[in-house]
Homo-oligomer: A and B are copies of this chain.
């Protein structure tokens, strides 16, 4: 009798029919003797609708009230899914984040789970009930509602699996698992059988949207095996995220992630003196601009070029901030390119085996794709390229690293 924590995303519970479908899936597992805790997201576009309501009232609503508002989306889903299971004759109960004992800090909008009091959950499971938990939310020490940010329901599920010592954590979504590349961009992409936490983290932070990085981190810390699979296609096996993926795969590029809507800013001819980076990036942080990759060119005559990337939406604020800093910095000018994307290859094998970077650069060169910026980690290489060439780059790299061939 296994204990299973499942998570169903917004599109999986986007309508009454889909909620019934999820209920049937859970019922099949419960009927087979498993104990099930299911975490749900808000239905379809519900969260966005609530955000529109709030923006209509206030341009900058207080974060605490935003959390109160947004948490209702998941509560609605949890009650409806519990009703659908009850309709199938299954004893079931829905719990809010607070009722499920999910304690967080009070950083509204992106609270971190500080602990889970499993007493109520275990009591309900002991009564033979399927427990439906509203994802994405918790409760602060002051008994205030908090939400835990993007990908929150994934994190709720993995954290619950860790706290309950569940046998497995299953994340059901609208795709069939973790793909070698985005199948909408790369027709040859296929789902991986398994992948390790580090690789999944790198893919998640460089554009793979299938699972949020924080949930993977929690999984890695507590060693929770996570199955990512389709809630629509019961035949597809999905991808398992675990500490050690298949041995022979650890010496390969495992996947390619990409991101669009990236802009590049270059500050030209900055005097190369200590503290210059802080003088540039602290005001950007204060202006709410999130900077990704940063590159500083080698100095020529004590002058250097500082280049960084930002989300396209932040470019205006970034340029305005840097222009105001030019006199202080003693820099010549700001130039920018608003229309870029990123392509990353990820694989644990890269840490120990040379030649991956060279093969990546050659592949892009053969496609006539110019590399604007490069950044690397132990197990990842990212190239910033023209937005119009991102798709070509993904497809060419997918072929170059033989990702279309089965594991």
Contact = CB atoms under 8 A, between A and B. Distances in A.
A68 B61 contact: no
A160 interface: no
B68 A79 contact: yes
Contacts of A144: 99
A93 B120 CA distance: 28
B143 A99 contact: yes
Query: How many residues of A sit at the interface, in one of the four size bands?
Result: 35 or more
A58 B76 contact: no
A76 B50 contact: yes
Chain B CB within 10 Å — which of A19, A69, A87 has the most?
A69
Nearest to A62: B86
Contacts of A99: 143-144
B84 A58 contact: yes
B65 A86 contact: yes
Nearest to A76: B72
Interface in A13-58: 16, 19-20, 50, 53-54, 56-58
Given A19-B57, A61-B86, A65-B83, 15 more contacts: A16-B56, A53-B76, A58-B83, A58-B84, A62-B82, A64-B93, A65-B79, A65-B82, A65-B86, A66-B79, A68-B79, A69-B76, A69-B83, A71-B75, A72-B75
Interface of A: 16, 19-20, 50, 53-54, 56-58, 61-62, 64-66, 68-69, 71-72, 75-76, 78-80, 82-84, 86-87, 93-94, 96, 99, 120, 143-145
For the complex of A and B, 8 pairs with smallest distance between CB atoms: A69-B79, A72-B72, A16-B56, A68-B79, A61-B83, A58-B87, A65-B79, A58-B83
